[in-house]
Amino acid sequence: MPRTKHDRTAGLRRGFTWVGALGVILVLAGLVGLLYTAFATLTTMLLFGWLLLIGGVVGLMQAVQARGTSFFWLAVVVAALNIAAGVVMIRRPEAGAEALAMFGALLFLSGGVFRVIGSLVVRGPQFGWTLVQGAFGLFLGIVVLASWPSSKYVMGSFFSLALLFDGLGLIAAGYGGRRIVGMVSDRMTPGKKPGGPGVKPVQPE
């Protein structure tokens, strides 16, 4: 039985509703992670470790299937490194968090230095914004390094913030999608004024 326009519209609305519901879940997870940064950091490291381990195993299987090719040993080495890193992350998540915090601090510092120097040398149209970004990167790098190794929990904070903003984006997408579907449905419904209540239809000239 073919689906009617009403069924397709209802399906789209349900889909955007699920998108918004997923956004709410991510927002709640992000807020919980910000409240319990240590738990969020360990969870992030364990998840990262399992992803490395699974990716390494899959890469090793692909390398075995591609044996005899020129990149066989390179694929084996990369897969072995991923497996080893995944095992270390799973067995010692706190050590992994400390290493990633140090790596993140160095990235912040190097990126901040390049942005500050680049903005001062080039002085392009985005001079002020680039300078502020560089200064903020330097500030974050110095803060993380100054409080290392206790700054290992910053990884959980970053992950929680990412969940929070992703969730807010999904909520906005779900709400906006449902609204657009409703507006299109109103315009396609015979005998119904487009735009809904409070919106005057455009009169032809």
> Domains in the chain: how many in total?
1
Query: What integer pLDDT is reported at residue 136 of this predicted model?
Result: 80
Whether 200 is in a domain gets the answer no
By the 8 A CB rule, do 148 and 98 touch?
A: yes
- Kindly report the pTM of this predicted structure: 0.54
- pLDDT tens-digit map of 140-194: 788 777 777 666 677 777 778 777 888 888 888 888 877 777 776 666 655 555 4
Task: Flag whether 120 is in a domain.
Answer: yes
State which residues of the chain have pLDDT below 70. Answer: 1-10, 124-127, 149-152, 184-205
Helix H or strand E segment including 30: helix 5-35
3-class secondary-structure state, position 4: coil
Pick the closest to residue 24 from 177, 155, 173, 179 (CA basis): 173
Is residue 101, in this structure, part of any structural domain at all?
yes
Residue 196 lies in a domain: no
In a domain, residue 197? The reply is no
Cα first-last separation, the chain:
43
Residue 63: its pLDDT value, please? 80
At 187 the pLDDT is 66
Q: What per-residue confidence (pLDDT) applies to 198?
A: 47
| Structural domain boundaries, residue 79 | 14-187
Note whether residue 68 is domain-resident.
Answer: yes
DSSP secondary-structure letter at 201?
A: P
DSSP H or E run through 163: helix 154-188
